[in-house]
Amino acid sequence: MGLFSNKPEITVVIPAYNEEGAITPTIKGAGAALAAAGLKFEIITVDDGSSDATAAAAEAAGSRVIRHPVNRGYGRSLLSGIEASAHEWILIIDADGSYPPGEIAKLLPHVPAFDMVVGAREGSLFWGTPGKALMRFIYLSIARFVAGEPIPDANSGLRIFRKEAVTTSMPVTCYGYSFTTTMTLSFLNAGRFVRFEPIKFVERVGHSKVKPVRDILRTLQIMTQVILYFNPMKFAAVITLLPLLATFVLTVKFFFFPPADIRWLAVAAMTLGSVLIFLMGCVIESFRLHSRK
């Protein structure tokens, strides 16, 4: 096809949990996209403790299958596939049919110039209902603050990246749905070259396994750990600003309306003390993360 002067060899990793209804077209579609580009590739499906015939369907479609004895999560499935991969480049795609395999062709021209090419979802299905759109906006705003640059889609499940970058650029490992967000933020904070390529996004087959409250809280934890590792002063500045503003307001209040007792002073002291304790925890966490490298 002439896309590559030095053709990359690619391992496709497909995490799957009870996806027997969508896994076959995902495997065959991914294989067709890479074969059309003239690339050498392998496909690994990681069956994450499915109770249906996902593994059998994947094998019948021509994929190598890794089985987890119990469900360990989206991120753990991706790691299992990455660890078992034979090639330098990893392409991940969700097994639920929400990422049309034909969109893979849009990512390939940007390899190997970029360390990671992310399929950035667009459209009303991506943003969802007004409530979901608001939550996604807040989520992406936090991600952009952590990364320090625009991010159109932090947790897309269709992307291609260098295998070695996972071990050298990701200080935090997440076994759940926050894995892709962790990867996006870690690559950007580590100075890796990342491109976001617009792709189509369609309705998934079957029911979503995402647990919004749990996964959002876990994602916020991961974001905090990433920023502590790469730029702890940015995080400390934000946390410190909040009690300083509260202290300023109380100071103004005390100046014009002297308190009859010390209750407000006690509140201010406890607030500042809590923040100091939290910041101490952040420092300890930052040392812990760096000591793991």
Which residues, in sequence order, are CB contacts of 78 under 8 Å at separation 6+? 13, 15, 46, 92, 179
pLDDT at res. 260: 58
Contacts of residue 102, defined as CB under 8 A and 6 or more positions apart, other chains included, come to 29, 33
Q: Domain check: are 170 and 196 in the same one?
A: yes
Measure the CA–CA gap between 163 and 249, rounded to whole angstroms. Answer: 51
First to last CA, the chain: 40
- For residues 267 and 218, state if they share a domain: no
- For residues 238 and 132, state if they share a domain: no
Distance CA 102, CA 149 (A): 28
| 65 and 172 inside one domain | yes
Cα gap 228→220, rounded to integer Å: 12
What CATH number should be reported for the domain holding residue 135? 3.90.550.10
Q: Which of 227, 250, 271 is the last residue of a domain?
A: 227
Q: Which of 202, 227, 252 represents a domain boundary (last residue)?
A: 227
Check if the beta carbon of residue 89 is closer than 8 Å to that of residue 9: yes
The crossing angle, in degrees rounded to 10, of helices 179-189 and 130-147 is: 30
Tell me: do 150 and 273 sit in the same domain.
Answer: no
Q: Tokens in use for 120?
A: 């950035």
Domain that holds residue 86: 10-227
DSSP string, 141-190: HHHHHHHTS--S-SS-S-EEEEHHHHHHH-SS--SSTTHHHHHHHHHHHT
Q: For 42, left (φ over 0), alpha (ψ -120 to 50), or beta?
A: beta
User: Do residues 179 and 236 both lie within one domain?
Assistant: no
97 and 42 belong to one structural domain: yes
Q: How far apart are CA 122 and CA 34, in angstroms?
A: 23
**166 and 263: one domain?**
no
Residue 153 lies in a domain: yes
pLDDT of amino acid 124:
84
Residue 191 confidence (pLDDT): 93
Q: For the whole model, what pTM was predicted?
A: 0.80
**Backbone φ, ψ for residue 168 (5° rounding):** -95, -20
Mean pLDDT by 10 residues, the chain (293 residues): 70 97 97 97 98 98 98 95 98 96 98 97 87 85 88 96 91 80 91 97 74 70 74 72 71 69 65 71 66 58
Total count of domains within the chain: 2
One domain for residues 156 and 142 = yes
